[in-house]
Amino acid sequence: MLPSCLPRESFPEEPILTYKSFDLYSDSASVTVSFTDGDGDIGLGPSDLAPPYDTGSVWYFNLFLEYQELHNGEWVTPTLLLPFNYRIPRITPTGQNKALEGDISVAVKPWPIAPAPFDTVRFSVVLVDRALHVSNSVTTEARKLIP
């Protein structure tokens, strides 16, 4: 009998996103993306508050959703809308192989209500790891708002 090893997952050290789903409800939305990260440094802990992760920094957050509305055939990001930024908790694996893959789902609340006649929306999503590697941007499907 010969011993065998499971192959190690090998991913780039910057996060890679893949769009998975976008669901709309009357008062909220849910966005899910799949991710891979080769060095396993996704997420921030409660004690990660020193620069560059301090509350005054853009890097305090590590998941960024950009809301967009369809205006006369062009996608527009409303300027008066609060940003949809999230702080994903640490999910660094134990052991030698630090490669990560999984899904991240966020509930988008409070939900922006687009003024009529602009009733079609989508999100672009970007993830940043602790080394400040920025992922690719993925865009959700367009969805009609639920009245």
Span 99-112, pLDDT tens digits: 899 999 999 987 76
Is residue 9 one of the residues assigned to a domain? no
Report pTM.
Answer: 0.87
| 47-95 tens-digit pLDDT | 999 999 999 999 999 999 999 999 889 999 988 777 899 999 998 777 7
> For the purposes of burial, counting CB atoms within 10 Å of the CB of 61, is it exposed (0-12), middle (13-18) or buried (19 or more)?
middle
**76 against 119, higher pLDDT:** 76
Share of the chain above pLDDT 70, in %: 88
CA 81, CA 66: separation in Å to the nearest integer? Answer: 10
Residue 100's DSSP bridge partners are 37
> pLDDT-derived band of residue 25, with 50, 70 and 90 as boundaries?
confident
pLDDT of residue 26: 80
Is residue 3 one of the residues assigned to a domain? no
Mean per-residue pLDDT over the chain, rounded: 87
Is residue 5 one of the residues assigned to a domain? no
The yes-or-no verdict on residue 115 having pLDDT over 90 is no
Is residue 123 one of the residues assigned to a domain? yes
In the chain, the number of structural domains is 1
Give Cβ neighbours of residue 32 (< 8 Å, ≥ 6 apart): 20, 21, 22, 103, 104, 105, 106
Query: Which position has the token pair 């660094």?
Result: 92
Residue 99, domain CATH: 2.60.40
Is residue 11 one of the residues assigned to a domain? no
Is residue 6 one of the residues assigned to a domain? no
Is residue 8 one of the residues assigned to a domain? no
Is residue 4 one of the residues assigned to a domain? no
- Domain coverage including residue 60: 16-144
> pLDDT-derived band of residue 6, with 50, 70 and 90 as boundaries?
very low
pLDDT of residue 116: 60
**Mean pLDDT of the 30-49 span:** 95
CA 104, CA 144: separation in Å to the nearest integer? Answer: 23
CA 112, CA 43: separation in Å to the nearest integer? Answer: 26
Of 102, 84, 83, 96, the closest CA to residue 42 belongs to 102
Query: Which position has the token pair 């789903």?
Result: 21
